[in-house]
A and B are shown apart, each in its own frame.
Chain A
Amino acid sequence: MADKLLKMGAVGESDAIQAFRAIGAVAVPATTPDEVTQALHRLAREGTPVIFITESAARMAPEAISRYEQTMETAVIPIPGIKGSDGYGEQKVRESVIKAIGADILNQNN
């Protein structure tokens, strides 16, 4: 497993993920909750270790994302879409900090 070449995936609105297609990721356009969920599951089943998902798409399928949260094999990473960041990714980071430590420590340091 260690040295197998694996692909990256991208899920989201077709405008945003075209950029990912250009750099060689497997881009799956998805704009409805069902499409997003399906795209995520498909990419994960194919063994894609890193899936980038636009923030607006990520908001559509919270169950699918939380399903891959605790598995090591698939990392679903929210990225800003074409309109820029709406804070979803940042919020996810904060959530995990609060879960682990019990308080949001990122605010005080920045």
Chain B
Amino acid sequence: MAVLRVNPTRMELTQMKRRLVTAKRGHKLLKDKRDELVRRFIEIVKENHRLRKQVEEQLSGALKDFALASAVMEPGAMRQALLYPARQASITMDKKSILSVQVPVFKMDENSLSEAVLPYGLVDTSAQLDGAIETMTNTLPLLIKLAETEKTSSLLADEIQKTRRRVNALEYVMIPQFEETIRYITMKLEENERGALTRLMKVKDMLAERTT
């Protein structure tokens, strides 16, 4: 590992030592952060995986019912029936912080949670459509939950990647660099000291020789 380009002085040495301490503390903190993020991430992603399977199953069923309904109904009648939705699905968005990663929290509006209301008369629509809409309505809370966990997990994944890079940069680049530099300065200073000492001894010898 390359030594930083610094002057081998005592002042630089104390500064380097201080930076090393800071780097080590930062490294420990970031490492803890990474471990905790990973733990939470695994929890969330497992939940997400489970939810996704469930939602995909239900949704595929509902969409198939829709396709069936549109097959038995007159073309255009379906569009007409669904032209004006009888209910407004509204959600509210809140924020929460997981280890200072901002993640969204979605909630269904209470009015949207009411019973499935059919937006059409029953005369020229097929019964499959009613069932499909009911399934969709029941899937809605799950969909919202899925959106929340999926977004959270993707945001967390990004943060984990960033944190891991920081941890590795500190562990394998910064800290060894500081240690190496500290050793270099100490050795240089010791060498200087030895040089000064021998010089003094030499001068003393020379002075002693002159007086005799």
- Give Cα A6–Cα B109 distance, bound, in whole angstroms: 9
Could you mark each residue 1-21 of chain A with 1 if its beta carbon is under 8 Å from any beta carbon of chain B, else 0? 111111110000001101111
**Chain B CB within 10 Å — which of A6, A19, A77, A106 has the most?**
A19
Chain B interface residue count, CB cutoff 8 Å, equals 58
Tell me whether A6 and B91 are in contact (CB under 8 A).
yes
- Interface majority SS on B: helix, strand, loop or mixed? helix
Q: B70 near A: Cβ within 8 Å? A: yes
* Interface residue ranges of A22-52 to B (CB < 8 Å): 22-25, 49-50, 52
Output the nearest chain A residue to B151 by Cβ-Cβ distance.
A75
Output the nearest chain A residue to B138 by Cβ-Cβ distance.
A23
Tell me whether B88 and A80 are in contact (CB under 8 A).
no
Q: Which of A6, A7, A52, A90 contacts B52 (CB 8 A)?
A: A90
Given contacts A99-B158, A105-B42, contact A72 B151 (CB under 8 A): yes
Output the nearest chain A residue to B109 by Cβ-Cβ distance.
A5
Q: B178 near A: Cβ within 8 Å? A: no
Q: Which of B88, B93, B143 contacts A49 (CB 8 A)?
A: B93
Q: Which of B45, B85, B90, B106 contacts A96 (CB 8 A)?
A: B45
Chain A interface residue count, CB cutoff 8 Å, equals 46
Q: B153 near A: Cβ within 8 Å? A: yes
Tell me whether A97 and B157 are in contact (CB under 8 A).
yes
Could you mark each residue 64-96 of chain B with 1 if its beta carbon is under 8 Å from any beta carbon of chain A, else 0? 101100100000001100100101111111110
- In whole Å, how far is B201's beta carbon from the nearest beta carbon of chain A? 60
Chain A residues with CB below 8 A from B41, complex form: 100-101
Nearest first, the 4 A-B pairs at minimum CB distance are A24-B89, A100-B157, A75-B151, A96-B157
A interface with B by C-beta (< 8 Å): 1-8, 15-16, 18-25, 49-50, 52, 69-70, 72-73, 75, 77, 79-82, 84-85, 89-90, 92-93, 96-97, 99-101, 105-106, 109-110
